A = this chain, B = another copy of it.
Amino acid sequence: MNLDTARRFVDGLRQDIPLAGFMGLEAVAADDRSLTLRAPLAPNVNDKGTAFAGSLASLSTVTGWALLMLWAHERLGPCLVAVSHSELRYRHPVMQDFTATATLPDDEALTQLCHRIASHGRGRVTLSIRLDGGEAGAVTQTATYAVWPAPAD
C-alpha cells in the first residue's frame, strides 16, 4: 500500500462519509501489509473526557475496511467491501488522539480469498486491528469483511 494513495482514499472518505469527516480521520502510515488511520480526541471525546466507544469502534472498523478496499483495488480492480462480523475488546480508556492499525492476513488466506471471489463472485476474510492511544492495544478487534467486484457502471 502506498501512503499517498491511502491519504487520497481517506481524504475522499471524509468527503463521502459525514461521520468520517466529523471524526477527522486521516491516513498516517501504510505498507504492503498494513494501514494506520488516526483520529483526534477532540471530536471523538465522551462525557468523561476519554474517547467515545463509538468512535473507537468506528475508527477500528473503517481502518480494516479501507485496508481491504485499497488491497482489493490493487490486486483485483474496483471492489466493494462490507463488514459482516466484528468483535471488539475495550482494554484501556483512551485519553489522547488515537490510531488504528489493520493488518492483512497471511498470503495463503489472501490467495484463498482471491480464489473464492473468482469462483463464487464474493469472498470473506478476517483481519486483526489494533487501536493505540496512550496504551498500545487499548482496543483490539477481529473483524470479518465480505469482498466482491464492483458492478460495472
User: Which residues of A approach B to under 8 Å, CB–CB?
Assistant: 12-13, 16-20, 22-23, 42-48, 52-55, 57-59, 61-62, 65, 80, 82-90, 93
Q: Is the CB of B13 within 8 A of A23?
A: no
Q: Is the CB of A19 within 8 A of B13?
A: no
Given A53-B83, A54-B61, A86-B57, verify A18-B43 contact (CB < 8 Å): yes
The answer for the CA separation of A16 and B45 in the assembled complex, in Å, is: 9
Q: Is the CB of B53 within 8 A of A65?
A: yes
Given A18-B45, A82-B93, A85-B89, verify A58-B61 contact (CB < 8 Å): no
Q: Is the CB of B46 within 8 A of A16?
A: yes
The answer for the CA separation of A58 and B16 in the assembled complex, in Å, is: 19
Looking across the interface, which residue of chain B has its beta carbon closest to that of A64? B53
- A59: chain B residues at CB < 8 Å are 54
- A55: chain B residues at CB < 8 Å are 19, 54, 58
B19, B43, B45, B80: the one within 8 Å of A54 (CB): B19
